[in-house]
Structure 1
Amino acid sequence: MVKRRLLGAALALLAGTGLTAVAGARSPAAPSPQRPNILLIVADDLGYSDIGAFGGEIATPNLDRLAQAGVRFADFHAAPACSPTRAMLLTGRDHHAAGLGTMAEFTDPAQRGRPGYEGYLKLKMPTIASALSARGYYTAMAGKWHLGYAEKQSPKAHGFARSFALLDGAGNHYGIDQTAQWRSVGIGVGTQYREDGRLTTFPEGAYSSDLFTEKLIGYLTSPARAHRPFFAYLAFTAPHWPLQAPADVVAKYSGKYDDGPMALRERRLKRMKELGIVPPDVRPFQPLAVEDWTTLSAERRRVEARKMEIYAAMVDRLDQNVGRLLASLSRSGDLGNTIVVFLSDNGPDGGGGAPALHDPRTQASLGIDNSLENMGRAHSFLTYGAGWAQAGSAPFNRFKGYTTEGGTRVPAFISGAGVTWHGISHALTHVTDMMPTALALAAGPASSARKPATEGRSLVPLLRDARIAQVRQPDEAIGEELFFGRSLRAGQWKAVYPAPTRPPTMLSDTDGRWHLYDLSVDPGETRDLAAEHTDILAGLVRHWHDYARRNDVVLHPAAD
């Protein structure tokens, strides 16, 4: 369990507008010329407004202090789902170019065997870890990998000196191996782990966020690191389903969500406007597939509210572990020279696993106990549904899996060494920007290795000058395709083509045409301007097809 004294130390060291060391901590040997440590923290399926610094009510003091001491990105984008985002995050390349054209679990017959749809990170694809390792950095990761199962596809093969990795897209947070049960009902994930490339197991009874943090702290404090700068990647599996969290943390949120998801959505929107995260006159997207809370029975409301309580506890525990890691870095004298990058890998998940897992008969046959008393424990299996997800994605359109703003716009911030102002940036930024940013931050004696090609932009100038409003020109386009859904963003304009088919965990509502939105006045994507600006839409669609050709995108046979 996270000790209170460590959390207190973490809070103390983050007080003020920058990161400073607590009293008694060792100072770095050479503070001025030293290249910075880089700590990359990724949450799994975290909603846009889940943490306090982005409008949420969940207790996230460590993340909030980091965010408020750095630059928060209000218009930061990822892929609509996890493994494609992670491929872009680590390589700076489009996920099709990196080998994750789609999630391996949902590869369509039309995509199998095609270049870019290997289902794992391409073996010779440079990563942040391999590039920084070649420049003298110590590299370590702990948490979700989701970029390949074989040893030659593991973090060890992609530049990480030390690693403890969940290979699957999700896992029981208490380490119970439910692979066979999950796959029997069509969920192609389980609980497979590798440490330093070798198959290993999750110590049953541990909790995922605690274990991953412990592992990373161990790697960073080991003698093998010596006095080298580090690149550390902490990839939480929280708050991805199954919703599971320690009972004492869940108890903190008892009763907080009894008025339902739409009431929570309104509270968060109000707070986001106050913070300046979204415009005060923003028009939110109208939620989809949400039941009227007032028509539900008291028992049903209690069950649904408990799901959100558990979800909140997962985010809370994630934050506690961030505090634990920061306290360790303070004790070792590393914190003052560390830059922290935080983001979610996609929008919140409004689907949630195979439908069969929500059938009481199937649950009984698989040993799943979803009684109110057992919810959130190791043998429960819960997701929280479209209502709570759209409380977390508001004011944006839909959630995880969609190329709309609710699927791709995520909370992100950079804080710490080298960040010379703090505030909110509304610049269009993207997950592929992390690779060039990391390389720019680590500038120093370089190896003879060629600088990896990336599609992103370095955010370092923006981190050092509050006057910089954009890192991209208005005509610079960012394309996306996943599950056959498409989008193209250029400046204020965004074109969206809903998918003709979707995995079974997502809603299907395509109308078989492109839509156009002006995000400068309509970030909620509530007004389709396709008929009014046919020339703008045609230009964006041409850009999208150029993007698709460059990246070997395979479209659905029924698509144009």
Structure 2
Amino acid sequence: MLRPNFLVIVADDLGFSDVGAFGSEIKTPNIDRLAYDGGLRFTDFHAAAACSPTRSMLLSGTDNHIAGIGAMNENLQEFQKGKPGYEGYLNDRVAPLSEVLQDYGYKTYMSGKWHLGLSRDRWPVKRGFDRSYSLLPGAANHYGYEPQIEEGDNQPNILKSTPVFYVEDDKAIAPKDLGKDFYSTDRTTSKMILRSLFFAYLAFSAPHWPLQAPEADVDDYRGVYDNGPEHLRDQRLGKLKELGLVPEHAVPHPTVAPPTGRMMSQPWDTLTENEKKTSSRTMEVFAGMVQRMDYQIGRVIQQLEKTGDLDNTLILFMSDNGAEGMLMEALPLIAGDIFAHVEKYYDNSLDNIGRGNSYVWYGPQWANSSTAPSRLYKGFSSEGGIRVPFILRYPALTAQKSQESNTEHSFATVMDIYPTLLQLAGASHPGKTYKGHEVAPVRGKSWVPYLTSAKAQIHDENSAVGWELFGRLAVRKGIWKATYIPAPYGPDKWELFDLKADPGELNDISEDNKEKLAELLSDWQEYVAEVGVVGQAPEYGTLVLD
């Protein structure tokens, strides 16, 4: 059997129903093709609750708390600093997938968002990529625009941490050298190399804020969202049920918004007509970003067809977390006021929204439309934060199941990708040491036995998987999930859900299932000990049963 090429495509902050194959009205024919032309849609695939933790798990096959991103570097707390697993970059306790595949003869290429280390020794070129063109921080202006800050003005921390910082191989690129025609999605695609036996990592920074897209793409969605986010949520949820991607009995969780009073957090029917126009315009731009990304993915597929490599290339498409509904809206609560700065240095007039000198996001109401029926969104351990769209296409592995049904409901995680690709490459994890460092074992499970019908499940009913980020906790075993969401977004206690009966995590059944909750919290304690979660009592590693 020929060893396949690998193409891993990651979208940034894309919600569960934001592409056509997952019920969206956004035009994504190229992504949809991956699902319908011999591919599989996974409906129960889980990432971490935010960008860099997911990326560390993808490239390591293990938990983010082991791989160095126990907390996002931008949000590292004092009690976490200096602790193993909280280095803020992909650390040396793991054997990166790119390096291991290099060892087995693969050419390794990366283009797009990195977010796994800013120092030169942590750039992609030092972590196993033969060639790379990368945005190092977690976000940046998609047109490379940076306003001139007046002397004496302090730039908000969120903008300081997201500069226009691109590198190609071992050379930094000044923003002015990106060129006048620069747009992140287009450049990311143009710099992607697909040559020889390859592992290619195509990591778009779209549709992450700031929401910006070419006008022609945005124009395709003028007026589409004028009925507001609840209308969109109901429309998408109906389509998800029609496609068999969520059960007919699924009831959506209501929107939970930051208690800041900001316009983008408010219910649609409380907005003025002008506010509605602004709000719907942000969603139009978001849709334009997704459409543009799909077009660029189409370019990559065409290149693989041209070289005859399409059917011998395993292609996977995923998002790194749920839709982004909170960060900017909540910043006045956690990091000072960004709004005055944006008003001074950017033009967010209605007709300019989406251009390079605008700076907008779309807030929790629209995010909830993307994650429905799930609860909450990016940053949370509830399903809205960690369940993401996932498509796998490799006819040698997926064709049979795709003919039966191109929808796969088995529980899977981002950690599973590493061992799956290694098995198909005829490679193996190096064991306890790698390049002079002790390394952790892989926690994910290869999908090959399941997809070839040698196993009935990827993860059996007794396998427990944990999540922790920003003090929001969860552990899952089979259909059961225990979740701890602190106030004001949750009840500040452990809850228990049956995800088969209640995919929206609406009904806490812990009172009637105390033994099951205790079982899952015992699993949680094991998870904390195994991966090294560092937290503050009493929430972490203790049985909070009331």
Q: Which letter does structure 2 place at the counterpart of 1:133?
A: Q
CA RMSD, 1 decimal: 2.2
1:322 aligned residue = 297
> Matched residue of 2:350: which SS?
coil
1:45-444 equivalences under 5 Å are 45-69=13-37, 70-123=39-92, 125-177=94-146, 184-187=155-158, 188-201=161-174, 203-205=178-180, 206-216=182-192, 219-220=193-194, 225=195, 228-289=196-257, 291-353=266-328, 354-355=331-332, 359=339, 361-365=340-344, 367-418=345-396, 419-420=398-399, 421-422=401-402, 423-443=406-426
Q: Give the CA deviation at 1:198.
A: 2.4
Q: Give the CA deviation at 1:110.
A: 1.0
Contact 1:78 1:408 survives alignment (8 Å): yes
1:531 aligned residue = 511
**Cα distance between partner residues in 2 of 1:201 and 1:388:** 34
1:455 aligned residue = 443
Q: Which letter does structure 2 place at the counterpart of 1:68?
A: Y
Identity within the alignment, %: 43
Q: Give the CA deviation at 1:47.
A: 0.6
Q: Which letter does structure 1 place at the counterpart of 2:415?
A: T
After TM superposition, the structure 1 stretch with the greater mean CA deviation from structure 2, 186-195 or 343-352, is 186-195
Q: Give the CA deviation at 1:369.
A: 0.5
Q: Which letter does structure 1 place at the counterpart of 2:290?
A: V
> Matched residue of 2:528: which SS?
helix
Contact 2:464 2:477 survives alignment (8 Å): yes
Distance 1:274 1:107, change over 3 A: same
**Cα distance between partner residues in 1 of 2:424 and 2:86:** 32
Q: Give the CA deviation at 1:178.
A: 5.8
2:261 aligned residue = none
Q: Give the CA deviation at 1:452.
A: 7.8
> Matched residue of 1:184: which SS?
coil
Contact 2:15 2:367 survives alignment (8 Å): yes
**Cα distance between partner residues in 2 of 1:54 and 1:184:** 38
Q: TM-score scaled to structure 1, two decimals?
A: 0.87
Q: Give the CA deviation at 1:287.
A: 1.7
**Cα distance between partner residues in 2 of 1:336 and 1:486:** 40
| Cα deviations by residue, 1:100-153 (Å, 9 ceiling, x for unpaired) | 001000011111111111001103521111111111001000000000011211
Q: Which letter does structure 2 place at the counterpart of 1:252?
A: D
**Cα distance between partner residues in 2 of 1:282 and 1:446:** 40
**Cα distance between partner residues in 1 of 2:68 and 2:383:** 24
Distance 1:437 1:171, change over 3 A: same
| Cα deviations by residue, 1:468-508 (Å, 9 ceiling, x for unpaired) | 652111110001110111100000100001146xxxxxxx3
Q: Which runs of 4+ in 1 moved over 6 A?
A: 179-183, 444-452
**Cα distance between partner residues in 2 of 1:251 and 1:357:** 31
Aligned residues: 510
Q: Which letter does structure 1 place at the counterpart of 2:109?
A: A
**Cα distance between partner residues in 2 of 1:536 and 1:554:** 25
Q: Give the CA deviation at 1:453.
A: 2.7
Distance 1:183 1:125, change over 3 A: farther
- Structure 1 residue runs of 5 or longer lacking an equivalent are 1-32, 501-507
Contact 2:93 2:440 survives alignment (8 Å): no
Q: TM-score scaled to structure 2, two decimals?
A: 0.89
| Cα deviations by residue, 1:1-60 (Å, 9 ceiling, x for unpaired) | xxxxxxxxxxxxxxxxxxxxxxxxxxxxxxxx4311110000000010000111111000
Whether 1:515 and 2:495 are equivalent positions in the alignment is yes
**Cα distance between partner residues in 2 of 1:446 and 1:437:** 11
Q: Give the CA deviation at 1:462.
A: 3.1
**Cα distance between partner residues in 2 of 1:266 and 1:526:** 17
| Cα deviations by residue, 1:148-180 (Å, 9 ceiling, x for unpaired) | 011211111111100011110100000124697
Q: Which letter does structure 2 place at the counterpart of 1:305?
A: S
| Cα deviations by residue, 1:515-548 (Å, 9 ceiling, x for unpaired) | 0000111111010011111011011111111111
Q: Give the CA deviation at 1:296.
A: 1.9
Q: Give the CA deviation at 1:358.
A: 5.6
